[in-house]
């Protein structure tokens, strides 16, 4: 069988870099595309000499024509400070950008996996979150460019499937961490680790009682590959996350402990619309993808701390 030509948008980002690595290891030809809004040139450089890796600097809000068999549409800043920096561009990425990728999938008769998010649940009133829960999103808050953008992206995927038969797969990604995260992107795991290894105090927003469920990136990437290979009439949306739930304060304490940092946490104001709880129900992923994340927070943090020390 000839190699699959796979497009990874957001290929220079955290998830994109880990996904490119996995797909190259599996023997595919990769076209990685990124506008470097939150992706890093350093991540692209890793694959520079790989004969099956091509990189195109491009923003998906502009159309592009390529010959491909599959698309993983990961393009969009995922960290709140990054996606809020240019909120209108964030919405365009999730509307114009997703239309462009769905049109590309349609022209190529290619499968497309859309990176959706746990943010579609907003500040959830159902806990843990099941895919059938429709969410509690503020339509005009500072997170809405991302939350509503990603909700609209899901809607576009399903309409392209119903109207044109585009082969869609929708993954709702929960908080993920691991190597190739940007040390500066402002997310909680990277912030705490980088702060602790530099002898600075981890910055807890609010009182630290809000919860998140953290999935190690290798487990998440495995879910993506399984989802792409799932039966044709399984579209999702499917939760992809680790159901282990921790408070932000617990995370800070773990990181301080594991880095043996001689620091105390500091408390800062909680950003607007910050969800109070978040935890995936992964029954559907277990049933349809045979997937259960098996890397514990401790194990994943060891690898992530090693990574940040190596680039510090
Ligand atoms: N957070 C924090 N300190 C930080 C960065 C984030 O306490 O330095 C909190 C943030 O307010 C949120 C949680 O950690 O409650 C997760 O934040 P992140 O930005 O990683 O992702 P989110 O789940 O909010 O999209």
* pLDDT tens figures, 133-168: 999 999 999 999 999 999 999 999 999 999 999 999
pLDDT greater than 80 at residue 1: no
* pLDDT tens figures, 166-189: 999 999 999 999 999 999 999 999
Ligand 1 within 6 A of CB of 54 = no
pLDDT value of position 312: 87
What lies within 8 Å, CB to CB, of 97 at 6+ separation is: 9, 59, 60, 61, 73, 75, 76
Q: Structural domains in the chain?
A: 5-311 (3.40.50.720)
Nearest to 35 by CA among 2, 3, 62, 65: 62
Nearest to 151 by CA among 159, 18, 298: 159
In percent, how much of the chain has pLDDT > 90?
Answer: 99
Ligand 1 within 6 A of CB of 265 = no
* pLDDT tens figures, 254-289: 999 999 999 999 999 999 999 999 999 999 999 999
Q: Residue 58, exposed/middle/buried by CB under 10 A (0-12, 13-18, 19+)? A: middle
This prediction has a pTM of 0.97
Degrees to nearest 5, angle at CA 154 with 62 and 41:
45
Work out whether the CA dihedral 180, 174, 150, 82 comes out positive or negative: negative
Hey, is 240 helix, strand or coil?
strand
Residues 257 and 229: beta-carbon distance below 8 Å? no
* pLDDT tens figures, 29-85: 999 999 999 999 999 999 999 999 999 999 999 999 999 999 999 999 999 999 999
* pLDDT tens figures, 9-28: 999 999 999 999 999 999 99
pLDDT value of position 117: 98
pLDDT value of position 124: 96
| Average pLDDT score, the chain | 97
CA distance 270 to 196: 20
Nearest to 73 by CA among 40, 117, 131: 117
Between strands 203-205 and 167-173, the pairing is: unpaired
Ligand 1 within 6 A of CB of 246 = no
* pLDDT tens figures, 288-300: 999 999 999 999 9
> Cα(216) to centroid of ligand 1, in Å?
16
Can 180 be counted among the known catalytic residues?
A: no
> Cα(306) to centroid of ligand 1, in Å?
21
CA distance 196 to 282: 32
Ligand 1 within 6 A of CB of 73 = no
123-137 mean pLDDT: 97
Q: Which atom of ligand 1 is nearest to the CA of 175?
A: 23
CA distance 33 to 68: 13
Which of 53, 72, 121, 146 is catalytic? The answer is 146
Tally of CA atoms within 13 A in the half-sphere of 24 that contains its CB: 20
Q: Which pair of tokens denotes residue 14?
A: 């955290």
Give the model's confidence band at 2: pLDDT under 50 very low, under 70 low, under 90 confident, else very high.
confident
């Amino acid at each position: 069988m000839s190699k699959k030509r796979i497009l990874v948008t957001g290929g220079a980002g955290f998830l994109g870099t880990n996904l490119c690595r996995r797909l190259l290891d599996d023997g595919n030809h990769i076209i990685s595309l990124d506008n470097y809004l939150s992706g890093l040139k350093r991540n692209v450089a890793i694959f520079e000499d790989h004969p099956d890796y091509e990189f195109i600097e491009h923003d998906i809000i502009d159309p592009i024509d390529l010959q491909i068999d599959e698309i993983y549409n990961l393009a969009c800043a995922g960290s709140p400070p990054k996606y809020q920096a240019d909120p209108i561009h964030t919405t365009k990425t999730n509307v114009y950008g997703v239309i462009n990728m769905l049109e590309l999938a349609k022209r190529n008769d290619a499968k497309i996996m859309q990176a959706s998010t746990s943010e579609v649940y907003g500040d959830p009133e159902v806990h843990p979150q099941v895919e059938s829960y429709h969410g509690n999103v503020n339509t005009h808050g500072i997170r809405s460019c991302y939350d509503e953008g990603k909700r609209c992206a899901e809607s576009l995927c399903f309409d392209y499937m119903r109207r044109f038969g585009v082969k869609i797969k929708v993954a709702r990604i929960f908080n993920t961490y691991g190597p190739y995260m940007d040390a500066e992107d402002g997310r909680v795991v990277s912030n705490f680790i980088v702060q602790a290894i530099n002898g600075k105090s981890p910055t807890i927003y609010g009182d630290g009682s809000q919860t998140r469920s953290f999935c190690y990136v290798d487990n998440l990437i495995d879910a993506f590959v399984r989802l792409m290979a799932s039966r044709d009439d399984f579209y999702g949306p499917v939760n992809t996350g680790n159901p282990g739930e921790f408070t932000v304060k617990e995370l800070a304490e773990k990181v301080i402990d594991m880095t043996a940092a001689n620091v105390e946490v500091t408390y800062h104001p909680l950003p607007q619309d910050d969800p109070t709880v978040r935890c995936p129900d992964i029954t559907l992923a277990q049933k349809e993808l045979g997937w259960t994340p098996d890397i514990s927070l401790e194990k994943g943090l060891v690898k992530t701390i090693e990574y940040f020390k190596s680039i510090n």
